[in-house]
Chain A
Amino acid sequence: MADSIIEINDVSKVYDNGVVGLQNVSLNVKKGEFLVIVGLSGAGKSTLLRALNRLNEITSGEIIIDGESITKAKGKKLREIRRSVAMIFQNFNLVKRSSVRRNVLSGRVGYYDSFRSTFGMWSKADKERSAEVLRRVNLLEKYYDRADALSGGQQQRVAIARALMQEPKIMLADEPTASLDPATSQVVMDDLQILNNDGITIVANLHSEALALQYATRIIGLAEGKLIFDKPVEQVTEADFDSVYGRTPKSVDTTKTSEQPTAGKTVEQAIELATEKNDEDAEVSVL
């Protein structure tokens, strides 16, 4: 497939303690897709996502990013491939003691050598780019603030700005809204939607079925490390969600109640457990 930007060929992952993370997963992601991965906690969603930029190693199989094997890449080659694959995280992963500016510019380090980046010798173009990406997420006025002075939603948007500094072709999002309240979740997902409209391929793990159905162009379901379904969003049915969440069909109509990532999922306690982290970060940011 010529237009595939990510090719996942028969990928398996077994952790050192014997836990199976992924079992023979194969799929291709086309350029410009907004792919959402759903599944229970421990189903292998994060394992799959973190395998795509090799934050986790895989046990067997191969992953091709834009025509190049990231599985076989080493050293400089690996760093160059990673540069084109940005990522945002559930816990934002900003350096809290550093300024927003330094956090955002740190997304650009792949284009610099150790010396120039460490001593902050950024090019004029990149300084302007850092202001531009922050303006895109509506946080330009926070440029010189410390990262830990920002609310959860703002921190996630700074993380998006940092990711944009990479000028990525692909954006991975590992539970980007799990630490956020519903309103802020929408803002963050809207930001991802805009990037997707600009041509960046998005691969996101989501707990919320509602958000998945609202933003995805294609949804895949994982359970126990195996691919359960893989469909364009128009064809995804309630039965598909039931299959990955191990529910008996028609138990609860979660598409109506799961707007909030931290509430409404009374059926599956496992989901609730995984999403109730960091409630204190859940502050609505009105900007």
Chain B
Amino acid sequence: MSEAPKRSFVARFHLKPITWFLIIVVVIYLAGQLTEANLLAFFNGHAIQQFGVIFGRMLHPEWSYFPQVIEPILETVRMALVGTLVGSILAIPVAMLQASNVDKIPVLRTVVRILSNLVRTLPDLLMAAIFVAVFGIGPFAGVLTLVIFSFGQMAKLSYEAIETVDPGPIDALETAGANKVQVISFAIVPQVLNTFISNFLYTFEVNVRASTVLGWVGAGGVGQLLDSSLRFTNYERAAVIILAILVVVIIIEVISNYLRGKLA
């Protein structure tokens, strides 16, 4: 029988991971102190009572309100669809300019990447609030927000997909005397098309969920309705709206998952 190799004291008693764990616990505790977060407040009598009241009223949805929810929720879906579509189309040329196997100019690539990263850091709600201030309350502000959000997301996902294509067909096309556009349409597009559609559906899914929230700042869709119901403490109506949103989101997710499964 041969003896197992010896480990150092630190390794034997897992001192490193234990130290890290303790540091993280301390950091979380300090963060809680500074932000005055108090887990107990969640469980005190008053809060639980409030939850009980709201939840109790929501258990009796005002079903007669349902017909009035249909139109706003369709508006939300339409906003998401238009926003995703326009954003995704705008993202295509920008994705090409970021991909190192298409764009051979490093400076241009870097500049476009920085700009597109900046676009992605803009918070949706902030953008929506600004667009509402500029273009007024209504779905147009919401659509613009979703266009920019989809653009940032699709530009990144697409350029990453483009960079992972098999370079062989690109060589083959260049050999045949193809120009840049022909290399893209014959060698790159067929290789990334399925990924692109799959990412489009995923972004659409995210946008449907996001656009329900955008209504809060007046950017159209069912969120606006939800906001006003809650503001007037009309929880019976809010319950109907939330259930409707839930059903629509689930339907869209199921369809999107099915289609993306087919594309894989």
Please report A residues at the B interface, Cβ cutoff 8 Å: 53, 55, 79-83, 85-87, 89, 91-98, 102, 106-110, 112, 114, 117-118, 159, 162-163, 165-166, 172
Interface string of B214-233 (1 = CB under 8 A from A): 00000000000000000000
Contact A162–B172 (Cβ < 8 Å) = yes
Interface string of B169-207 (1 = CB under 8 A from A): 101111111110110011100110110000000000000
Q: A83-B176, A86-B176, A98-B190 are in contact. Are A109 and B171 (CB under 8 A)?
A: no
* Nearest CB in chain B: distance from A115 CB, A: 8
* Nearest CB in chain B: distance from A150 CB, A: 15
Contact A82–B175 (Cβ < 8 Å) = yes
Q: Closest 8 interchain pairs by CB? A: A110-B177, A93-B168, A83-B177, A114-B181, A79-B177, A118-B185, A93-B172, A82-B177
What residues of chain B lie closer than 8 Å to A118, measured between beta carbons?
181-182, 185-186
Contact B187–A79 (Cβ < 8 Å) = no
Q: A98-B190, A114-B182, A118-B182 are in contact. Are A109 and B174 (CB under 8 A)?
A: no
**Could you show 27 A-B contacts with beta carbons less than 8 Å apart?**
A53-B175, A55-B175, A79-B177, A81-B177, A82-B175, A83-B176, A87-B171, A87-B175, A91-B168, A93-B166, A93-B169, A94-B172, A95-B186, A97-B191, A106-B172, A106-B176, A106-B187, A109-B173, A110-B176, A112-B182, A114-B179, A114-B181, A114-B182, A114-B185, A118-B185, A159-B172, A162-B176
Q: Which residue of B has the minimal Cβ distance to A98?
A: B190
* Nearest CB in chain A: distance from B262 CB, A: 14
What residues of chain A lie closer than 8 Å to B181, measured between beta carbons?
114, 118
Q: Known pairs A89-B168, A95-B187, A102-B190. 13 more at Cβ < 8 A?
A: A53-B175, A55-B174, A79-B177, A79-B179, A82-B176, A83-B176, A86-B176, A106-B176, A106-B187, A107-B176, A109-B178, A117-B182, A163-B176
Contact A95–B169 (Cβ < 8 Å) = yes
Expressed in whole angstroms, the Cα–Cα distance for A81 and B176 within the complex equals: 9
Expressed in whole angstroms, the Cα–Cα distance for A117 and B180 within the complex equals: 12
Contact A80–B191 (Cβ < 8 Å) = no
Expressed in whole angstroms, the Cα–Cα distance for A92 and B168 within the complex equals: 8
Contact B178–A110 (Cβ < 8 Å) = yes
Expressed in whole angstroms, the Cα–Cα distance for A159 and B174 within the complex equals: 14
Expressed in whole angstroms, the Cα–Cα distance for A93 and B187 within the complex equals: 10
Contact B176–A89 (Cβ < 8 Å) = no
Question: B-side binding surface: helix, strand, loop or mixed?
Answer: helix
Q: Which residue of B has the minimal Cβ distance to A78?
A: B177
What residues of chain B lie closer than 8 Å to A97, measured between beta carbons?
190-191, 193-194
What residues of chain A lie closer than 8 Å to B166, measured between beta carbons?
93, 96
Expressed in whole angstroms, the Cα–Cα distance for A157 and B175 within the complex equals: 17
| Residues of B77-131 whose CB lies within 8 A of A | none
Expressed in whole angstroms, the Cα–Cα distance for A107 and B193 within the complex equals: 21
Q: A55-B171, A106-B186 are in contact. Are A95 and B191 (CB under 8 A)?
A: yes
Expressed in whole angstroms, the Cα–Cα distance for A82 and B190 within the complex equals: 23
What residues of chain B lie closer than 8 Å to A106, measured between beta carbons?
172-173, 176, 178, 182, 186-187
Expressed in whole angstroms, the Cα–Cα distance for A98 and B171 within the complex equals: 16
What residues of chain B lie closer than 8 Å to A93, measured between beta carbons?
166, 168-169, 171-172
Contact B174–A82 (Cβ < 8 Å) = yes
* Nearest CB in chain A: distance from B189 CB, A: 9
* Nearest CB in chain B: distance from A110 CB, A: 3
Name the residue in B172, B186, B190, B193 with the highest tally of chain A Cβ atoms < 10 Å from its Cβ. Answer: B172
* Nearest CB in chain A: distance from B228 CB, A: 49
Q: Which residue of A has the minimal Cβ distance to B185?
A: A118
Q: Which residue of A has the minimal Cβ distance to B172?
A: A93
What residues of chain B lie closer than 8 Å to A94, measured between beta carbons?
169, 172
What residues of chain B lie closer than 8 Å to A86, measured between beta carbons?
175-176
What residues of chain B lie closer than 8 Å to A89, measured between beta carbons?
168, 171-172
Q: A89-B171, A93-B169 are in contact. Are A108 and B186 (CB under 8 A)?
A: no
Q: Which residue of A has the minimal Cβ distance to B194?
A: A97
Expressed in whole angstroms, the Cα–Cα distance for A85 and B174 within the complex equals: 11
Expressed in whole angstroms, the Cα–Cα distance for A96 and B165 within the complex equals: 11
* Nearest CB in chain A: distance from B69 CB, A: 43
What residues of chain A lie closer than 8 Å to B193, measured between beta carbons?
97
Q: Which residue of A has the minimal Cβ distance to B184?
A: A118
Q: Which residue of A has the minimal Cβ distance to B169?
A: A95
Expressed in whole angstroms, the Cα–Cα distance for A96 and B194 within the complex equals: 13
What residues of chain B lie closer than 8 Å to A109, measured between beta carbons?
173, 176-178, 182, 186
What residues of chain A lie closer than 8 Å to B177, measured between beta carbons?
79-83, 109-110, 166
What residues of chain A lie closer than 8 Å to B171, measured between beta carbons?
55, 87, 89, 93
* Nearest CB in chain A: distance from B181 CB, A: 4
What residues of chain B lie closer than 8 Å to A110, measured between beta carbons?
176-178
What residues of chain A lie closer than 8 Å to B169, measured between beta carbons?
93-95
Expressed in whole angstroms, the Cα–Cα distance for A93 and B191 within the complex equals: 12
What residues of chain B lie closer than 8 Å to A166, measured between beta carbons?
176-177
Q: Which residue of B has the minimal Cβ distance to A110?
A: B177
Expressed in whole angstroms, the Cα–Cα distance for A112 and B176 within the complex equals: 11
Q: A55-B171, A89-B172 are in contact. Are A79 and B178 (CB under 8 A)?
A: yes
